[in-house]
Amino acid sequence: MLLDIGLGILAALGVANLFGEIPTELFIMAGIGFALLPDLDFVYALLRYGPNNYRAMIRHRDYLHYPILYVAAGGFLALFISPAWGVLFLITTLAHLAHDSIGLGWGVAWLWPLSDKNYTFFWRYVTPGKELPRQLVYCWERARIDDLIEEYRDPQWLKNIYFRPHPFFATEIIGFAASVLILVRVLG
Ligand SMILES: [Zn+2]
């Protein structure tokens, strides 16, 4: 989540610069909001199934994590609102999905509706001792995800990643801190 916020800030600054515009507070806040938007399906899953249903929490990406939705909506915004808003929406939402495709969770259905397989890139965190071989792309059958959750889920993932030095956590913190520093420099 911290890295999504950082990507939203950087994208807003970059897109404003690209279109020769001054980044307004509204544009930056929109960048952050767009970068977090796909996880509204997590809020839905949380309210509907409750926090103890870990399968529903892990599987929330069945609703708002289809890239084609954001390509279509970004194109619509670019055509009917403004190109800068369309590009900001596209970059931030796809950056969120790219972030979701590395490390945690069972990837993103990048090719939906052509295929409902989920894809993870480079590395998938699993319970210690059950590490998967390193691959550029992992492909997960949708029907097998419940089995994968049971086999590889680390019940201590929060503690093991976010409460001790871990590259995943370090990337989140460094990405977020760098974006805030750049934002302060640009606005200051
Ligand atoms: Zn997500």
Q: 141-152, pLDDT tens digit by residue?
A: 988 888 888 888
96 Cα to the center of ligand 1, angstroms:
6
95 Cα to the center of ligand 1, angstroms:
10
CB atoms within 10 A of CB 34: 28
As for how many domains the chain has, the answer is 1
Range of the domain at 159: 2-187
Confidence check: pLDDT of 5 > 90: yes
Q: Any idea which of 40-49, 57-66, 100-109, 146-155 has the lowest mean pLDDT?
A: 57-66
The token pair that represents 184 in the structure block: 């302060």
Alpha-helical regions (H) of 81-137? 83-100
Ligand 1 ion: nearby residues, β-carbon < 5 Å: 38-39, 100
pTM: 0.85
